[in-house]
């Protein structure tokens, strides 16, 4: 088993990733302390790498980092890597979601996808990226109490065309962008270990 620290001080996030991975292959613990990393990258991969490098330099052990966001077809330059800062400083998650609903009022194309890019960072010479996406639409209303961020306004494809991610906690656990990226990473580590035996 490989032990990683998560490039975040968020214990809940570390717990979420720990549940997504096969514990026989990988364990994920929150970092001993949160450090500030300037996310100046122009892509999810660049930001995930910046976070991983920052935590590795500080704690000198393998790091799991992620950068995630929401990409909205009709607002191509407004969210993406800027999703957590959409609308400016001082807004709550609900404020941002409601602002997005307002901006899409009357717009027909509401297609969107969540993306997660994971970085497994072993050293400055060895690191790997894994991506997961979940496609859907931005709904018409804020609905649901599970999840966080934009979950209450995101209606994933292939479910029932009405329920948001915030109303589908069990489906999200199996099918979210983080779940898919984690699955790719687990498969890679499994094969990597087999090749080393």
CA distance linking residue 127 with residue 53, whole number of Å = 10
Give residue 87's region: left, alpha or beta (phi > 0; psi -120 to 50): left
Among 66, 67, 125, 160, the active-site one is 67
Residue 67 known to be catalytic: yes
* C-alpha to C-alpha distance for 146 and 104, rounded to whole angstroms: 23
Cα-Cα-Cα-Cα dihedral of 176, 180, 181, 184, to 10°? 170
Return the structure tokens found at 184. 């790719």
> Helices marked H in the chain — which ranges?
11-20, 44-59, 93-103, 169-175, 177-196
The DSSP secondary-structure symbol of 82 reads G
List, by residue number, the catalytic residues: 67
């Amino acid at each position: 088993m490989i032990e990683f620290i998560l490039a975040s001080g968020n214990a809940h996030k570390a717990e979420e990733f720990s549940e997504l991975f096969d514990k026989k292959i990988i364990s994920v613990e929150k970092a001993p302390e949160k450090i500030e990393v300037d996310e100046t990258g122009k892509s999810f991969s660049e930001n995930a790498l910046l976070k991983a490098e920052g935590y590795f330099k500080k704690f000198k052990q393998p790091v799991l980092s992620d950068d995630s966001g929401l990409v909205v077809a009709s607002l191509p330059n407004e969210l993406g890597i800027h999703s957590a800062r959409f609308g400016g400083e001082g807004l709550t998650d609900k404020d941002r979601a409601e602002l997005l609903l307002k901006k899409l009022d009357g717009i027909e194309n509401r297609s969107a996808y969540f993306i997660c890019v994971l970085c497994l960072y072993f050293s400055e010479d060895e690191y790997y990226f894994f991506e997961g996406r979940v496609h859907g639409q931005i709904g018409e209303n804020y609905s649901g109490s599970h999840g966080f961020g934009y979950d209450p306004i995101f209606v994933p494809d292939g479910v029932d065309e009405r329920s948001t991610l915030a109303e589908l906690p069990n489906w999200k656990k199996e099918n979210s962008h983080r779940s898919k990226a984690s699955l790719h990473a687990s498969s890679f580590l499994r094969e990597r270990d087999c090749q080393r035996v």
